[in-house]
Chains A and B, each alone.
Chain A
Amino acid sequence: MSGLEDLYREIILDHYRNPRNRGELEVPPATRAEGFNPLCGDEIVVYLHLDDPTRGDSAVVEDVRIGGQGCSISQSSASMMSAAVKGRTVGEVRELTRAFKAMMSIHEGELEGGAAEPADADPSELRLGDLEALRGVVKFPVRIKCATLSWNTLLQGIDDAEAG
Chain B
Amino acid sequence: MAVTQLVGAKIHRREDPRLITGHGHYVDDFLRTGMVYAAFVRSPYPHARVRKIEVTDAAKAPGVVAVYTARDFKSVITGATHPATPSFVAEKKHVPERRPIAETEVRFQGEPVAVVLAESGAQAVDAVGLVDVDYEPLEAVTDIEKAIKPGSPAVHEGAPDNICWDLAYAGDDVTAAAFAEADVVVKERIHQQRLAPTSMEPRGVLAEYDPYDKKLQIWMSSQGPHFIRLFISGALGLPESNVRVVSPDVGGGFGSKISPYPEDYLVAAAAKLSGRPVKWIETRTESIQNTTHGRGEIFDIEVAAKKDGTLLGLKVTQWLDCGAYTATFSAFQPCACLMAGGAYKWKGISARTVGIFTHRVPTDPYRGAGRPEATHLAERAVDLVAREIGMDPVDIRRKNFIQPQDFPYTQNFGLVVDSGDYDKSLDKALELAGYKELRQQQADLRKQGRYLGIGLSTWIEICGFGPSAATAPATGGIALVESAQVRVLPTGSVIVYTGSHSHGQGHDTTQAQIVADTLGVPYDSIEIRHGDTAEGPAFGYGTYGSRTLAVGGLAIHMACRRVIEKGRKLAAHLLEAAEDDVSYEQGKFMVKGSPDKAKAFGEVAFASYGAGLPDGMDQGLEATAYFDPPNFVWPFGAHICVVEVDPETGSVDLQKYVAVDDCGTVINPLIVEGQLHGGITQSIAQALFEEVVYDPESGQLKTGTMIDYAVPTANEIPDLVLGSTVTPSPSNELGVKGIGEAGTIAASAAVINAICDALSPLGIKHIDMPASPDRLWRQINQARATAGNGQKGVKA
Please say whether chains A and B are actual partners in one complex: no
